[in-house]
């Protein structure tokens, strides 16, 4: 039994299969028969299932935690404890979604796979077994899509035997869910719209330089990230920042600019990420003509038109426009780590510049005393209040700041402000106190904690007094931190101004960079049309194979020839899609669903249409058609976007065959030839 179970497990988890195979039973597990004749398993003399009627226990726990309406949904079940697998089998036959089983004891896994046939479950891409808390992130984030139902439950014996492990698993699950939800909002759900915005900004993106020439230029010099939390109002915070302004490199987020302007402080950099029109954050801010604006490629077009002294473009690691542009321009574009929060983006820019230590102010990540923002910041009137019945809700002095930008109309704001508090959670503050916060702020907190781990050589000091505790950071009031790190002795401003004056260069429209990008577009038109035609041909080929298998369910020479031709098409689609990073944005949602359904992680590489048994062949053909349709739809949508972007694109002098820019006109003959 062990051999067949491990063979099934190797299909999706070869490393775990090897680990179980190498595990020797140590005598901690005991198989026994209960009073009703049911097989049971004990670990360290504790029965893992109810001694009388373990099958009934599995049914009861499952029914209590997974309602009928959730069983047909494409969600995720997270089970703590496998035991002999009564619960796994119940879940497998009763649901259609993903099943993650956390089994902390390798002895139990080994013993169970020796005596119970789980070949069907283990061979299924729906079932994934993990054995440690550090595997939770990968297991859940790769299988959960925003909108899915997540049900978590435990075998009662496991919950009683190892409550601290179960608690750590639940805490990790909460963190993973928060991060996954926020990350997918940008990387999966909004990937296509963000990429379209980036492409529509292409004229501006090419015009403005990166900040990369500032990297490593301020090693050992102090920096500060100014956010808009209510701790900015703490006595001495703004005063200390103003007194030491010239001793620091200051990066501010857009929402904090009005508060800084009120105090007469001009930051060196203002970072804004939003793809919505949030220019009102900087409305009437007097220092904009004297500061440097840092935008992402997907920032709203209105932000590129702000009258800043200088505007920079920044690329994130996950920005699909970056590798596409890098290929077109034939030079490296520097990628910055980011997880969708403007404070993290401002922070990683200072880290890249070499600033150390870096102080965080206004980074409350919570709502002390019901306040959401500092008193002079944008959205300053946004706060939590109680009505006459003691019910909490949000209010804002000027709701126009949100309506029309983040909300469609006043009615939407009224609904939102009354429902927002339902999603409020608690988090630990500086001194262990409980603070009110929201799920998105907890995800920002987790992102900052990951930044601290990744960039461990940079010392980060959280000076947002009274806000949330950020694990791993030093927590000090701002004035104390300045004294401790002797900020007065540093003078980065002369060097910063000299670098900006010497290396900040704008690209004129129609320059060589614009021509290179236009040439890349011309090539992409050919490749994308070729991709569409190839998917059409491939789907027609699949129909022929399916018809042949239906008439004669044998993989004969004729079918093998068809499969060989289909394999050639797969390789061509793989090549074309790999060479265009933009198309991934247009198929990411469907590919995520594909990966969950078929347990395949890459577009085409895992689809092996080799002769084998008929069932495996049919599954491969089904998964291939799914891919072909997805790729074809994505290629068409990308072509539509590119056509709009490049309709009036400035390319300077008309292109000639000998003048450097060769305009490629795709034809059906060229496509078929490829």
Q: In this structure, are residues 298 and 345 in contact, taking their beta carbons and an 8 Å threshold?
A: no
Right CATH number for 2-189 from 3.40.50, 1.10.1670, 1.10.357, 3.40.710?
3.40.50
pLDDT for residue 659: 41
pLDDT for residue 410: 58
Q: Which residue has the higher pLDDT, 106 or 404?
A: 106
Q: Which residue has the higher pLDDT, 151 or 171?
A: 151
Helix axes 342-353, 439-454, angle to 10 degrees: 10
pLDDT for residue 320: 87
| Residues ≥6 apart with Cβ < 8 Å to 174 | none
Residue-wise pLDDT tens digits, 538-576: 999 998 888 888 888 777 888 888 888 888 888 888 888
**Band of residue 658 on the pLDDT scale cut at 50, 70, 90:** very low
Does residue 589 carry a pLDDT above 80?
A: no
Domain locations along the chain: 2-189, 195-503, 512-673
What integer is the mean pLDDT of 284-311? 94
Does residue 388 carry a pLDDT above 90?
A: no
pLDDT for residue 216: 95
The dihedral through the CA atoms of 511, 514, 519, 522 has a sign that is negative
pLDDT for residue 665: 40
**Band of residue 518 on the pLDDT scale cut at 50, 70, 90:** very high
Q: Which helix (H) or strand (E) holds 575?
A: helix 557-578
Does residue 611 carry a pLDDT above 50?
A: no
- DSSP string covering 120-158: HHHHSTTEEEE-SGGGHHHHHHTT--TT--EEEEE-HHH
Peptide bond into 357 cis (omega under 30): yes
pLDDT for residue 397: 53
Does residue 384 carry a pLDDT above 80?
A: no
Residue-wise pLDDT tens digits, 328-379: 999 999 998 876 688 999 999 999 999 999 999 999 998 887 778 888 887 7
- DSSP string covering 577-636: HHT-TTHHHHHHHHHHHHHHHH---SSSTT----S--HHHHHHHHHHHHHHHHHHHHHHH
DSSP 3-state of 198: helix
pTM: 0.72
What integer is the mean pLDDT of 407-421? 57
Spatial separation of the C-alpha atoms in residues 282 and 256, rounded to whole Å: 9
**Candidate from 98-112, 282-296, 360-374, 478-492 with smallest mean pLDDT:** 360-374
Does residue 526 carry a pLDDT above 70?
A: yes
Q: Which residue has the higher pLDDT, 604 or 398?
A: 398
- Long-range contacts at 327-331 (CB < 8 A, ≥ 24 apart): 327/520, 327/581, 328/516, 328/517, 328/519, 328/520, 329/513, 329/516, 329/517, 330/516
What integer is the mean pLDDT of 144-163? 80
Q: Which residue has the higher pLDDT, 231 or 138?
A: 231
pLDDT for residue 436: 80
pLDDT for residue 100: 92
- DSSP string covering 525-561: HHHHHHHHHHHHHHHHHHHHHHHHHHHS-S--HHHHH
| HSE-CB of 501 using CA atoms within 13 angstroms | 6
């Amino acid at each position: 039994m062990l051999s067949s179970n491990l063979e099934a497990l190797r299909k999706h988890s070869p490393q775990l299969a090897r680990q179980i195979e190498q595990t020797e039973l140590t005598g901690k597990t005991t198989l026994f028969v209960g009073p009703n004749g049911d097989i049971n398993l004990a670990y360290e003399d504790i029965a893992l299932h109810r001694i009388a009627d373990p099958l009934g226990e599995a049914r009861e726990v499952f029914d209590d935690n997974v309602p009928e309406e959730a069983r047909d949904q494409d969600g995720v079940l997270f089970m703590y404890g496998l035991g002999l697998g009564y619960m796994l089998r119940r879940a497998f036959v009763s649901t259609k979604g993903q099943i993650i089983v956390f089994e902390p004891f390798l002895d139990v896994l080994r013993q169970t796979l020796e005596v119970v046939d789980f070949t069907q479950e283990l061979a299924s891409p729906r079932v994934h077994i993990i054995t440690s808390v550090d595997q939770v992130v990968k297991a859940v984030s790769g299988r959960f899509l925003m909108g899915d139902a997540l049900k978590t439950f435990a075998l009662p014996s496991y919950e009683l035997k190892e409550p601290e492990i179960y608690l750590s698993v639940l805490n990790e699950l909460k963190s993973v869910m928060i991060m996954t939800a926020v990350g997918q909002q940008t990387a999966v759900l909004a990937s296509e719209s963000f990429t379209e915005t980036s492409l529509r900004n292409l004229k501006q993106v090419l015009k403005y330089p990166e900040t990369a020439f500032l990297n490593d230029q301020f090693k050992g010099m102090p920096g500060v990230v100014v956010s808009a939390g209510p701790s900015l109002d703490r006595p001495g915070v703004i005063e200390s920042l103003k007194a030491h302004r010239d001793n620091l490199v200051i990066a501010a987020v857009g929402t904090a600019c009005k508060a800084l302007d009120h105090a007469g402080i001009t930051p060196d950099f203002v970072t804004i990420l939003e793809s919505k029109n949030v220019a009102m954050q900087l409305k009437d801010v007097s220092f904009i003509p004297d500061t440097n604006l840092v935008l992402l490629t997907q920032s709203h077009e209105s932000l590129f038109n702000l009258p800043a002294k200088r505007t920079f473009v920044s690329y994130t690691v996950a920005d699909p426009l970056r590798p596409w542009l890098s290929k077109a321009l034939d030079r490296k574009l520097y990628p910055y780590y980011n997880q969708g929060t403007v404070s993290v983006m401002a922070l990683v820019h200072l880290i890249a510049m070499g600033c150390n230590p870096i102080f965080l102010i206004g980074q409350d990540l919570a709502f002390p005393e019901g306040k959401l923002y500092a008193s002079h910041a944008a959205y300053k009137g946004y706060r939590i209040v109680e009505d006459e019945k003691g019910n909490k809700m949000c209010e804002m002095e000027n709701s126009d700041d949100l309506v029309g930008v983040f909300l469609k109309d006043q009615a939407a704001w009224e609904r939102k402000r009354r429902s927002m508090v339902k999603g409020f959670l608690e988090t630990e503050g500086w001194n262990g106190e409980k603070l009110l916060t929201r799920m998105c702020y907890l995800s920002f907190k987790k992102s900052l904690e990951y930044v601290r781990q990744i960039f461990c050589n940079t010392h980060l000091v959280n000076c947002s007094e009274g806000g949330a505790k950020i694990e791993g950071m030093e927590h000090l009031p701002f004035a104390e931190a300045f004294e401790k790190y002797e900020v007065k002795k540093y003078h980065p401003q002369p060097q910063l101004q000299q670098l900006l004056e010497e290396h900040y260069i704008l690209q004129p429209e129609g320059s060589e960079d614009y021509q290179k990008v236009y040439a890349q577009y011309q090539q992409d038109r050919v490749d994308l049309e070729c991709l569409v035609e190839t998917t059409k041909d491939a789907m027609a080929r699949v129909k022929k194979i399916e018809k042949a298998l239906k008439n004669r369910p044998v993989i004969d020479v004729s079918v093998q020839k068809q499969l060989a031709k289909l394999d050639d098409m797969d390789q061509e689609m793989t090549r074309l899609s790999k060479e265009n990073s933009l198309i991934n944005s247009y198929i990411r949602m469907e590919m995520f669903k594909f990966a969950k359904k078929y347990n395949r992680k890459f577009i085409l590489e895992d689809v092996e249409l080799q002769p084998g048994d008929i069932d495996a062949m049919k599954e491969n053909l089904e998964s291939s058609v799914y891919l072909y349709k997805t790729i074809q739809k994505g290629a068409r949508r990308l072509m539509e976007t590119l056509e709009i972007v490049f309709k009036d694109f400035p390319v300077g002098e008309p292109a000639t065959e000998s003048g450097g820019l060769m305009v490629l006109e795709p034809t059906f003959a060229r496509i078929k030839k490829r």
